[in-house]
Structure 1
Amino acid sequence: MNKIIVGVDGSDGGRRALRWAIREAADTGVSVEAVTAWHWAGVQDMTVPVTGPDEQRTLAERGQSRDIAAIRAELDDAVPVTRVLVRGVPAEVLADAARGARLLVLGSHGHGRLHHAVLGSVAEECVRLAACPVVIVPVPHAKPFATSGEAIATTG
Structure 2
Amino acid sequence: MSVTPALDPHQNRSAAVVVGVDGSVGSERAVRWAAAEALRRGRRLMLVHALEIDTAHDVLTDPGAVAIRAVRERGVERLVSAAAVARRVAPEAEIDTALLDGGAARALIGQSPAAHLLVLGATGTGGAACHLGATLPAVTGHAKGEVVVVRDAEFSRRDDRTGPVVVGVDADHRGGLAGYRAVAAAFAEASERGCPLVAVHAWSDLPFGELDEALDDIPPETEAAALRLLNEGLAAWREKYPEVTVEQHVYRCGARHHLLLWSKTAQLLVVGARGRGGFPGLPLGSTAHAMIQRAHCPVLIAHDH
Structure 1 length as normaliser, TM-score? 0.74
Given candidates 18, 32, 37, the residue that maps to 1:19 is 32
Amino acid paired to 1:128: G
Given candidates 131, 135, 147, the residue that maps to 1:134 is 147
Q: From the superposition, tell whether residues 127 and 114 of structure 1 become closer, same or farther in structure 2 (CA, over 3 Å).
A: closer
How far is 1:139 from its partner?
A: 2.3
Residue in structure 1 matched with residue 73 of structure 2 by the alignment: 58
Q: From the superposition, tell whether residues 20 and 120 of structure 1 become closer, same or farther in structure 2 (CA, over 3 Å).
A: closer
Aligned length: 133
Name the larger-Rg structure. 2
List aligned pairs for 1:98-109, cutoff 5 A: 98-109=112-123
The whole-number CA distance in structure 2 between the counterparts of 1:132 and 1:40 is 27
List aligned pairs for 1:7-46, cutoff 5 A: 7-40=20-53
Q: From the superposition, tell whether residues 114 and 71 of structure 1 become closer, same or farther in structure 2 (CA, over 3 Å).
A: closer
RMSD (Å) for aligned C-alpha atoms: 2.5
Gaps of 5+ in 1: 43-50, 144-155
Contact 1:86–1:93 (CA under 8 A) maintained in structure 2: yes
Residue in structure 2 matched with residue 3 of structure 1 by the alignment: 16
Residue in structure 1 matched with residue 104 of structure 2 by the alignment: 90
SS in 2 for 1:40: coil
Percent identity over the alignment?
A: 29
The whole-number CA distance in structure 2 between the counterparts of 1:10 and 1:134 is 19
Q: From the superposition, tell whether residues 15 and 113 of structure 1 become closer, same or farther in structure 2 (CA, over 3 Å).
A: closer
How far is 1:4 from its partner?
A: 0.8
Contact 1:14–1:107 (CA under 8 A) maintained in structure 2: yes
Gaps of 5+ in 2: 1-11, 59-65, 158-260, 262-305
Q: From the superposition, tell whether residues 115 and 106 of structure 1 become closer, same or farther in structure 2 (CA, over 3 Å).
A: closer
Amino acid paired to 1:141: E
The whole-number CA distance in structure 1 between the counterparts of 2:151 and 2:112 is 20
Structure with the higher fraction of residues in helix conformation:
2
Contact 2:39–2:93 (CA under 8 A) maintained in structure 1: yes
The whole-number CA distance in structure 2 between the counterparts of 1:53 and 1:120 is 22
Amino acid paired to 1:7: G
How far is 1:141 from its partner?
A: 3.2
Amino acid paired to 1:34: L
Amino acid paired to 1:21: A
Amino acid paired to 2:27: G
How far is 1:53 from its partner?
A: 1.1
Q: From the superposition, tell whether residues 114 and 85 of structure 1 become closer, same or farther in structure 2 (CA, over 3 Å).
A: closer
Contact 2:17–2:44 (CA under 8 A) maintained in structure 1: yes
The whole-number CA distance in structure 2 between the counterparts of 1:95 and 1:59 is 22
Cα-to-partner distance string for 1:43-87 (whole Å, 9 max, x where unaligned)? xxxxxxxx61111011111121012113312x2521111000001
SS in 1 for 2:153: coil
Question: RCO higher in 1 or 2 (8 Å CA, sep ≥ 6)?
Answer: 1
